[in-house]
């Protein structure tokens, strides 16, 4: 089929709102109604392309009806079948003249089909077209005939589909359907994605994974953490490309529905959607598998399985490639990449967080209902954007919550969200946590509370010492999009996942920090130790002393070093000859001496250990100290800590 750029749709939103039909068919019934047009209409209908075809036996001697004119105006495309006797019908020529008017005034796109006629005969009104106009000029006024001639000339100059006796008409029909589907796809895109910021680039990337032009069966996974927009992306792509398949089905909430109701209902829905059957009955899930394999293996289908979290769900709904006909595409959305790998999918598309520009646009659209930020809100908007870290769900929920609120309320909401994450966001993220093994939950909470942005080997050592089998556990967290490891082997967890982990620990006992399993806040730990709490409950603590968020980060480093050395000198003078009688210890040998000889239980308040740093002398030049960036561990308030029977891990950064 010949096409040109001028036939590509360029519509306005006003026109889109007016269109009730995808296609208007213009044809001469005596020539094509019961052959080519009948087959074309059925093919359009099967593709879900809403088509107007005039099936009434109308009196062709009368003027074209208002209903027909209205149908033309409400159609996005017109397929004009130019058969040999098309021009002999005044009715058809009136239709055509109005179609040309709609092309010029209403953004209609015309696809001419030259039904065994030469386009040049139409342009020049030669052959049967010439004979038709000889007859018209005998009966009609010149103005009307002139309009018909101009309309034919314009259609004859358009690129279209030229039917010849060189191939089957079914191939021509398939080509026409493909052209309409392609143009409808790009025409509809702005309207189905109107409020979906950043979706276009994602859609293009996922479409490239689908490789729809190939005739093989492809299983494609869409993988990301909760709230990243997997389902939304799958819906958009499903809507855009579905017309290119014989049949299609979107099975949502596979995880939840299979857990609550089993597989039979999902299998019945899948087959019913594809085959358009309403009375289908399946005895059990194994009968469902047999029916899917037997009845869909010759169908070119598009299937979306949304929110899959277990391999058996795929085995029951889309077990093998040969269950489906050539050219089929199966899209699987999941939070667990292991499920995709185990099922042997053909490609995995990982949905990333929004780019800064898109995140800003989405947040502004919800928080201000416009594209720019009022000056008074700019700083706090940046804080919320940093907090959401590109997660579409968080940007949308937080932005909507903040709409119409004052700057004072914004500040309060920002502080609250850091300690108490939004419930709607939290519930979505927590689905992945709830699906973890108990050991993996422990690892997740340890990383969220203590080890985010820490070096992998160090974290593995600590977790293994707690009997948590870290290597396997970390791999599972990565598979489920709860953790990443960068090129420098640093663990990285999304800030909202970290907040979720800490929130889970807080909920263990909201009003008493001494009854929580993990402590990371200096004030909470100080409270627990001073009041002799947490003996049976607290398992791990991390103290970051002087961690005031308002501390000036640009403070001169030399001043810090001078003050640090001055502080050490003061402590040394407390008891120059016995380190066990000093309030604080920082040299490894001194701490080892105190611990081995059971000294300092009533005096020492803090111990600061540099791991693997080869410190040999407390007065050694700091420039000669190796591995100065090593993680620091400290035991603080020894007597109180020694009574915490359930404590398994202690990390103190006594800066």
Domains: count for the chain = 5
pLDDT tens-place string over residues 474-526: 999 999 989 999 888 999 999 899 999 999 998 888 888 888 888 888 778 77
Helix (H) or strand (E) holding 76: strand 75-82
Task: Decide if 306 is inside a domain.
Answer: yes
Residue 560 lies in a domain: no
Residue 188 lies in a domain: no
The reply to whether 399 and 456 lie within a common domain is: no
654 pLDDT above the threshold of 50:
no
Catalytic residue among 2, 30, 74, 95: 95
**Res 543: pLDDT:** 59
The verdict on 449 and 410 lying in the same domain is no
Give the Cα separation of 384 and 581 in Å (integer): 48
| Same domain membership, residue 595 and residue 478 | no
Statement to judge: residues 277 and 197 lie in one domain:
yes
What are the contacts of 295-300 at 24+ separation with CB within 8 A?
295/271, 296/271, 296/323, 296/324, 296/325, 297/322, 297/323, 297/324, 297/325, 298/325, 299/246, 299/247, 299/274, 299/324, 299/325, 299/328, 300/245, 300/246, 300/247, 300/324, 300/325, 300/326, 300/327, 300/328
What was the pLDDT predicted at 649? Answer: 62
Confidence of residue 7 (pLDDT cuts 50, 70, 90): very low
pLDDT at 528: 77
Position 556 in a domain: no
What does the DSSP assignment read for 225-256?
A: -TTSSHHHHHHHHHHHHGGGSSEEEEE--HHH
Is the same domain home to 360 and 401? yes
The CATH number that applies at residue 51 is: 3.40.50.10140
The answer to whether residue 14 scores a pLDDT higher than 80 is: no
Q: Which of 122-126, 329-333, 603-607 has the highest mean pLDDT?
A: 329-333
Q: Is the pLDDT of residue 534 over 90?
A: no
Domain identity same for 541 and 483: no
If asked whether residues 104 and 36 sit together in one domain, one would say: yes
Lowest mean pLDDT among 60-64, 248-252, 478-482, 495-499: 60-64
Active-site residue 95, yes or no?
yes
Residue 631 and residue 488 share a domain: no
> For position 203, which CATH number holds?
3.40.50.300
In a domain, 73, yes or no: yes
Contact status, residue 136 vs residue 145, Cβ threshold 8 Å: yes
User: Does residue 183 or residue 328 have the better pLDDT?
Assistant: 328
Higher pLDDT, 620 or 270: 270
pLDDT of residue 372: 81
Of the candidate ranges 93-102, 213-222, 574-583, 626-635, the one whose mean pLDDT is the lowest: 626-635
Q: Is residue 23 part of a domain?
A: yes
Q: Are residues 27 and 63 in the same domain?
A: yes
Residue 559 maps to a domain: no
Q: Does the pLDDT at position 403 exceed 70?
A: yes
pLDDT at 9 over 60: no
Are residues 488 and 405 part of one domain? no
Q: Is the pLDDT of residue 207 over 80?
A: yes
**pLDDT of 547 higher than 70:** no
Residue 645 binned pLDDT confidence (cut-offs 50, 70, 90): low
Let me know whether 346 and 367 are in one domain.
no
| Spatial contact of 388 and 425, defined as CB atoms under 8 Å apart | no
Percent of the residues in the chain that have a pLDDT greater than 70, as a whole number: 76
Residues 317-330: what's their mean pLDDT?
96
Domain range holding 503? 420-507
Instruction: Identify which has the larger pLDDT, 285 or 171.
Output: 285
* pLDDT surpasses 70 at 609: no
Q: Which two tokens stand for residue 280?
A: 């289908």
- Whether 344 and 382 map to the same domain: the answer is no
């Amino acid at each position: 089929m010949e096409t040109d750029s001028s036939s590509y749709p360029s519509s306005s939103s006003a026109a889109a709102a007016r269109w009730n039909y995808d296609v208007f068919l213009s044809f001469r019934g005596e020539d094509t109604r019961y052959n080519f047009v009948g087959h074309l209409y059925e093919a359009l209908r099967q593709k879900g392309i809403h088509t107007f075809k005039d099936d009434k036996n109308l009196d062709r001697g009368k003027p074209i009806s208002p209903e027909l004119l209205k149908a033309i105006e409400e159609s996005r495309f017109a397929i004009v079948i130019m058969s040999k006797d098309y021009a002999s019908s005044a009715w058809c020529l009136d239709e055509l003249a109005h179609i040309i008017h709609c092309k010029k005034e209403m953004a209609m796109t015309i696809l001419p089909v030259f039904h065994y006629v030469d386009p040049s005969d139409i342009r020049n009104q030669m052959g049967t077209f010439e004979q038709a106009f000889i007859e018209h000029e005998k009966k009609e006024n010149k103005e009307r005939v002139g309009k018909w001639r101009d309309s034919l000339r314009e259609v004859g100059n358009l690129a279209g589909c030229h039917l010849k006796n060189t191939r089957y008409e079914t191939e021509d029909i398939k080509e026409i359907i493909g052209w309409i589907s392609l143009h409808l796809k790009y025409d509809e895109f702005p309207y189905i994605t109107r409020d979906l910021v950043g979706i276009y680039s994602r859609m293009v990337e996922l479409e490239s994974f689908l490789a729809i032009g190939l005739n093989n069966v492809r299983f494609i996974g869409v993988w990301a953490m909760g709230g990243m927009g997997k389902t939304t992306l799958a819906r958009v792509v499903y809507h855009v490309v579905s017309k290119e398949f014989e049949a299609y089905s979107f099975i949502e909430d596979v995880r939840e529905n299979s857990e609550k109701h089993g597989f039979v209902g999902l299998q019945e829905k899948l087959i019913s959607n594809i085959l358009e059957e309403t009375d289908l009955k399946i005895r059990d899930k194994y009968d469902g598998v047999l029916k899917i394999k037997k009845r869909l293996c010759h169908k070119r289908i598009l299937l979306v399985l949304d929110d899959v979290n277990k391999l058996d769900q795929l085995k029951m709904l889309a077990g093998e490639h040969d269950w489906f006909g050539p050219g089929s595409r199966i899209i699987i959305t999941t939070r667990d990449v292991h499920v995709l790998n185990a099922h042997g999918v053909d490609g995995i598309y990982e949905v990333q967080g929004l780019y800064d520009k898109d995140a800003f646009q989405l947040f502004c659209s919800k928080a201000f209902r416009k594209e720019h930020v009022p000056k008074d809100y700019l700083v706090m908007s940046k804080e919320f954007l940093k907090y959401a870290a590109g997660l579409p769900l968080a940007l949308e929920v937080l932005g909507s919550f903040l709409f119409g609120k004052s700057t004072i309320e914004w500040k309060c909401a920002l502080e609250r969200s850091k300690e108490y994450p939004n419930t709607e966001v939290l519930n979505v993220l927590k689905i992945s946590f709830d699906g973890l093994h108990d050991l993996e939950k422990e690892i997740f909470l340890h990383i969220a509370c203590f080890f985010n942005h820490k070096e992998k080997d160090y974290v593995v050592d600590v977790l293994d010492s707690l009997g948590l089998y870290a290597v396997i556990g970390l791999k599972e967290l990565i598979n489920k999009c709860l953790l990443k490891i960068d090129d420098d082997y640093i663990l990285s967890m999304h800030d909202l996942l970290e907040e979720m982990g800490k929130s889970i620990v807080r909920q263990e006992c909201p009003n008493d920090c001494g009854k929580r399993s993990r402590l990371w806040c200096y004030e909470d730990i100080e409270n627990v130790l001073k009041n002799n709490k947490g003996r049976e409950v607290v398992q791990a603590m991390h103290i970051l002393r002087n961690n005031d968020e308002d501390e000036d980060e640009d403070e001169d480093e030399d001043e810090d070093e001078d003050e640090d050395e001055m502080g050490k000198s003061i402590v040394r003078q407390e008891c120059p000859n016995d380190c066990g009688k000093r309030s604080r210890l920082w040299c490894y040998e001194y701490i080892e001496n105190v611990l081995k000889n059971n000294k300092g239980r009533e005096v020492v308040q803090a111990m600061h250990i540099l791991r693997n740093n080869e410190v040999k002398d407390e007065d050694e030049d700091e420039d000669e100290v190796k591995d100065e960036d090593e993680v620091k561990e400290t035991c603080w308030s020894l007597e109180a800590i020694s009574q915490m029977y359930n404590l398994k891990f202690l990390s103190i950064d006594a800066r």
